[in-house]
Amino acid sequence: MTLYPPSESAALLDGIRAFIEPAHVRTDPDSALTYGRDWTRLHTPNPLAVVLPGRIEQVQQLVRYANEHRLPLVPSGGRTGLSGAAVACQGEIVVSLERLNRILDFDPVDRSVTCQAGVVTEVVQNFARDHGLYYPVDFASRGSSQIGGNIATNAGGIKVIRYGLTRDWVTGLKVVTGRGDLLDLNRGLIKNATGYDLRHLFIGSEGTLGLIVEATLKLARPLREPSVLVLGVPDLNGIMAIYDLFRRKLELTAFEFFSELALRHVLNKGLHRPFDSETPYYVLIEFENPDGLHTDEALALFEQCAEQGWLADGVISQSEAQAKELWRLREDISESIAEHQPYKNDIAVRIARVPALLAEMDELLQREYPDFEVLWYGHIGDGNLHINILKPADRESAAFAKQCGTVSEHLFEALQRYGGSISAEHGVGLTKKPYLHYTRDEAEISYLRAIKQVFDPQGIMNPGKIFD
Ligand code: MLT
Ligand code: ZN
């Protein structure tokens, strides 16, 4: 635990104020609470200070100063993380890059945009749209998450089946390493065969190697009039059969699923049921459909699935507004259940193994959580399932987390047999750290440690996250 005696910490912070404007070195309780945590609410934030550099040189000065004084730094983006990676609960200094929020360059020929790390995802998306292009990494927290945080967690989201992860869109990165060096990685090149690609080490590094300060992102052509289908599915097995059939015939841009129990939470927040009948599960399918070109094909697939008994009911959007409304049934789930302090599992397995894993998980969860409300949803087309266990109102938080942690071990033992991952997109941070060994073996973890040692020899960058 890094806690400095008050006299020492005051002097340390004065040292920072010598190179970062005093107004941007904050110690007030509101800033500590706001910037000291992410969307997990398991740890009590307790940073020594929140520092907001406005220039890359200030970031470098801060890292060098932190090395000199052995000060732990916690990089902070839009704080929408779900694994505690941006939590500062041990007297660390939170480094928010929200003042580094400018779009620096746009190249229509390269179809790329260069921006500072603190630019909000939606700002990049809107910028791309205004230039006739599309930034396809997308998720519900687009309005607050920042590009630097997305890269540090290799964010996934709702369009991965067609467009891949954040990693697939980053062609250049500027980073300040844990040693304080500024590295200009890959410089927007598509091809660059000159040895190790350090850019990819920083993508998904969760702030443990250094701070991402700037990124060059590829852009795509815009989606052409996407249509959205929501289908009611009587049992879990039908979901992958539907996926298989639809992706044979249509170029899908999303294939999501959610359970009736999850749906009820968004309905409670004022949304409407997509159709009258209730089924235990639903899938949401999106595909490009310019001028309704593929509507007949989609309806024929719908009929085929219905004949097989894989679906019971369904609806197809007739306008952009309707498509957006249908998306909300899936996208609003996370926020609608936040008040129940869900224990989140975010697992991944190869697509072919989803049906067998689903059956095993379902059986295990029904057995282990007979009294808890368990909600399923996620990006099932990528083999990524979110399993949320809601905390009963009368249950104390720590006891609930402990109980869920024990069940997670059973879950991860099964997952290990299927060669899956304990985190598909939320990251390891603090909450998944005890379980990392289910996905990465000891030998591999020792290489991760050795890499950290190279970039951050004094261990000042986000200590205690991913592994100890
Ligand atoms: C989602 O898919 O909705 C996000 O990953 C957030 C969550 O899992 O709650
Ligand atoms: Zn997700």
**What is the per-residue pLDDT for 41?**
87
Residue 381 scores a pLDDT above 70: yes
Ligand 1 nearest atom to the CA of residue 331, by list position: 3
**What is the per-residue pLDDT for 6?**
81
**What is the per-residue pLDDT for 1?**
59
Q: Which residue has the higher pLDDT, 6 or 254?
A: 254
The protein residue whose alpha carbon is closest to atom 9 in ligand 1 is 334
Any idea which of 186-195, 295-304, 374-383, 399-408 has the lowest mean pLDDT? 399-408
334 lines ligand 1 (CB under 6 A): yes
Residue 171 scores a pLDDT above 90: yes
Residue 3 scores a pLDDT above 90: no
Report yes or no: 106 and 123 within 8 Å, Cβ to Cβ: no
Please state which CATH number belongs to domain 226-334.
3.30.70.2190
Could you write out the three-class secondary structure of the chain?
CCCCCHHHHHHHHHHHHCCCCHHHEECCHHHHHHHCCCCCCCCCCCCCEEECCCCHHHHHHHHHHHHHHCCCEEEECCCCCCCCCCCCCCCCEEEECCCCCCEEEEECCCCEEEEECCCEHHHHHHHHHHCCCECCCCCHHHHCCEHHHHHHCCCCCCCHHHHCCHHHHEEEEEEEECCCCEEEECCCCCCCCCCCCHHHHHCCCCCCCEEEEEEEEECECCCCCEEEEEEEECCHHHHHHHHHHHHHHCCEEEEEEEEHHHHHHHHHCCCCCCCCCCCCEEEEEEEECHHHCCHHHHHHHHHHHHHHCCCCEEEECCCHHHHHHHHHHHHCHHHHHHHHCCEEEEEECCHHHHHHHHHHHHHHHHHHCCCCCEEEEEEHHHCEEEEEECCCCCCCHHHHHHHHHHHHHHHHHHHHHCCCECECCCCCCCCCHHHHHHCCCHHHHHHHHHHHHHHCCCCCECCCCCCC
The protein residue whose alpha carbon is closest to atom 7 in ligand 1 is 334
Report yes or no: 96 and 52 within 8 Å, Cβ to Cβ: yes
Residue 48 scores a pLDDT above 90: yes
153 lines ligand 1 (CB under 6 A): no
CATH topology classification for 6-98:
3.30.43
**Average confidence (pLDDT) over 77-85:** 97
CB atoms within 10 A of CB 417: 12
> Which residue from 40, 154, 331, 333 has its CB within 8 A of the most atoms of ligand 1, so it is best to mutate?
333
> Which residue from 386, 387, 388 has its CB within 8 A of the most atoms of ligand 1, so it is best to mutate?
386
Angle among Cα 354, 356, 360 to the nearest 5 degrees reads 110
Q: How far is the CA of 154 from the centre of ligand 1 (A)?
A: 14
The model's pTM is: 0.97
CATH fit for domain 337-426, picks 1.10.10.10, 3.30.70.2740, 2.130.10.10, 2.70.98.10: 3.30.70.2740
Report yes or no: 65 and 52 within 8 Å, Cβ to Cβ: no
Task: Please give the structure tokens belonging to residue 421.
Answer: 């991952």
User: Are 6-98 and 226-334 the same fold in CATH?
Assistant: no
Cα–Cα distance measured from residue 63 to residue 70, given in angstroms and rounded to the nearest whole number: 10
Any idea which of 16-30, 175-189, 353-367 has the lowest mean pLDDT? 353-367
Question: What's the Cα-to-Cα distance from 61 to each of 58, 177, 179, rounded to whole Å?
Answer: 5, 12, 10
The domain limits of the chain are 6-98, 103-218, 226-334, 337-426
140 lines ligand 1 (CB under 6 A): yes
Question: What does the pLDDT look like over 402-453, one tens digit per residue?
Answer: 999 999 999 999 999 999 999 999 999 999 999 999 999 999 999 999 999 9
173 lines ligand 1 (CB under 6 A): no
The protein residue whose alpha carbon is closest to atom 4 in ligand 1 is 334
Residue 151 scores a pLDDT above 90: yes
Is CATH 3.40.50.1000 what the domain over 103-218 is classified as, yes or no?
A: no
Per-residue pLDDT band at 7 (split at 50, 70, 90): confident
Cα–Cα distance measured from residue 443 to residue 449, given in angstroms and rounded to the nearest whole number: 10
